[in-house]
């Protein structure tokens, strides 16, 4: 009932007035085309109208500046509660606090480091920035369902993980500050322990069974929920040149699982269980 009323209100009201309750608007059954066109203070609309058309010319793929990928599927995980590289004391997006969000500072030209975004292009219109601010003020929720790229049907039957940055088998410029993995459902954060998440360096030879591998101590944190975004951060120093293997356990004794205690389908064979293994290579260019 309440939802229907809100929807009716919002189709007729001005953008800013719509923002009061961002929840429920696009979550269920709303035709996809409806949110494109006019910019709305929700993440899918900002993705479709700003990030994809304006930013991904630079901010995509392994060479994305400062590791910030703004393509669909990566952007949310790398923005919300993710520290800025230029000013590490600030989050790129700090939910409910647009002034402290580095993304806004970069768009408004008030950031302490670097240029105003989009680089070498006219600044975004003030109304556009106001809508992005509103989305942050409303809590910066994710209405895209972005997570594992699994087929629609299996999405909620299986707990799937997806590598966001670095992507699988990717060669990325270093240093790499964190490895970001998303899931299609909310994970049980109490399972984030060293027996479940392991990062190893190859020892310089790109292989992981020659006996010279090195364990890299990491901290794992949940950056955001629903679906979960995991940031796996090397404890001592960012990752420099080598090949790396991240392993998240999907098997006993302790498997990563969701809140219903369903273990991840780490190896993607369509059945619960199996380790999630992500390999990537860091190259130092300087």
CB atoms within 10 A of CB 81: 17
Give which of ligand HEC, Ca ion, none residue 207 binds (C-beta under 5 to 8 Å, depending on kind).
Ca ion
Beta strand 242-248 with 197-201: parallel, antiparallel or unpaired? antiparallel
Q: Which of 19, 25, 46, 117 binds ligand HEC (CB under 6 A)?
A: 117
Vertex 25: Cα angle to 23 and 31 (nearest 5): 150
Annotate each residue in 31-50 with x if it binds ligand HEC (CB under 6 A) or - if it does not, as one string: -------------------x
Task: Indicate the burial class of 64 (C-beta count within 10 angstroms; 0-12, 13-18, 19 or more).
Answer: buried
Based on CB atoms, which residue is closest to ligand HEC, 106 or 223? 106
The one segment of 63-71, 188-196, 238-246, 276-284 that binds ligand HEC by CB under 6 A: 63-71
84 counts as binding ligand HEC under rule CB under 6 A = yes
Strand partners, 172: 282
Where in 119-158 is the site for ligand HEC (CB under 6 A)?
A: 119-121, 124
Q: Give the residue from 274, 276, 250, 275 showing the smallest Cα distance to 261.
A: 250
164 counts as binding ligand HEC under rule CB under 6 A = no
- Token look-up 């004794």 returns 253
Give which of Ca ion, ligand HEC, none residue 276 binds (C-beta under 5 to 8 Å, depending on kind).
none
The one segment of 16-24, 116-124, 195-203, 226-234 that binds ligand HEC by CB under 6 A: 116-124
228 counts as binding Ca ion under rule CB under 5 A = no
Based on CB atoms, which residue is closest to Ca ion, 213 or 265? 213
Q: List, in sequence order, every beta strand (DSSP E) within the chain.
A: 161-165, 171-173, 179-183, 197-201, 214-215, 218-224, 229-234, 242-248, 276-283
Q: List, in sequence order, every beta strand (DSSP E) within 117-241.
A: 161-165, 171-173, 179-183, 197-201, 214-215, 218-224, 229-234
92 counts as binding ligand HEC under rule CB under 6 A = yes
Q: Which two tokens stand for residue 50?
A: 């700003």
205 counts as binding Ca ion under rule CB under 5 A = yes
* Distance in Å, CB of 53 to ligand HEC, minimum: 9
Q: What is the Cα–Cα distance from 72 to 95, expressed in whole angstroms?
A: 19
Q: Which of 145, 203, 272, 273 binds Ca ion (CB under 5 A)?
A: 203
Total of chain residues touching Ca ion, rule CB under 5 A: 6
Closest residue to ligand HEC, based on beta-carbon distance: 114
Q: Which of 61, 73, 95, 118 binds ligand HEC (CB under 6 A)?
A: 118
DSSP class of 249 = -
Q: Which two tokens stand for residue 146?
A: 């972005």
* Chain contacts with Ca ion (rule: CB under 5 A): 202-203, 205, 207, 210, 212
* Chain contacts with ligand HEC (rule: CB under 6 A): 50, 54-55, 57-59, 65-66, 68, 84-86, 92, 102-103, 106, 114-115, 117-121, 124
């Amino acid at each position: 009932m309440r939802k229907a009323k809100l929807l009716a209100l919002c189709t007729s009201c001005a953008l800013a007035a719509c923002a009061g309750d961002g929840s429920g608007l696009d979550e269920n059954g709303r035709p996809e085309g409806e949110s494109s066109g006019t910019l709305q203070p929700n993440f899918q609309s900002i993705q479709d109208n700003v990030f994809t058309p304006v930013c991904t010319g630079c901010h995509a793929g392994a060479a994305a500046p400062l590791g910030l990928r703004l393509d669909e599927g990566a952007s949310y995980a790398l923005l919300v509660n993710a520290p800025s590289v230029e000013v590490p004391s600030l989050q790129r997006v700090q939910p409910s606090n647009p002034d402290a969000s580095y993304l806004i500072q970069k768009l408004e030209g008030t950031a302490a480091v670097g240029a105003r975004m989009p680089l070498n292009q006219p600044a975004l219109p003030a109304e556009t920035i106001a809508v992005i601010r509103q989305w942050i003020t409303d809590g910066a929720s994710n209405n895209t369902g972005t997570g594992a790229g699994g087929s629609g049907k299996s999405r909620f039957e299986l707990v799937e993980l997806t590598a966001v940055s670095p992507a699988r088998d990717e060669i990325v410029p270093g240093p790499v500050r964190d490895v970001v993995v998303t899931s299609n459902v909310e994970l049980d954060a109490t399972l984030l322990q060293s027996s479940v998440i392991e990062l190893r360096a190859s020892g310089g030879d790109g292989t992981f069974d020659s006996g010279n591998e090195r364990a890299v101590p990491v901290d794992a944190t949940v950056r955001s929920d629903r679906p979960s975004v995991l940031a796996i951060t090397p404890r001592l120093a960012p990752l420099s040149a080598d090949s790396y293997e991240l392993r998240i356990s999907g098997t006993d004794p302790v498997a990563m699982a969701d809140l219903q205690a369903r273990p991840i389908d780490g190896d993607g064979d369509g059945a619960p269980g199996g380790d999630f293994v992500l390999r990537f290579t860091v190259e130092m260019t300087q």
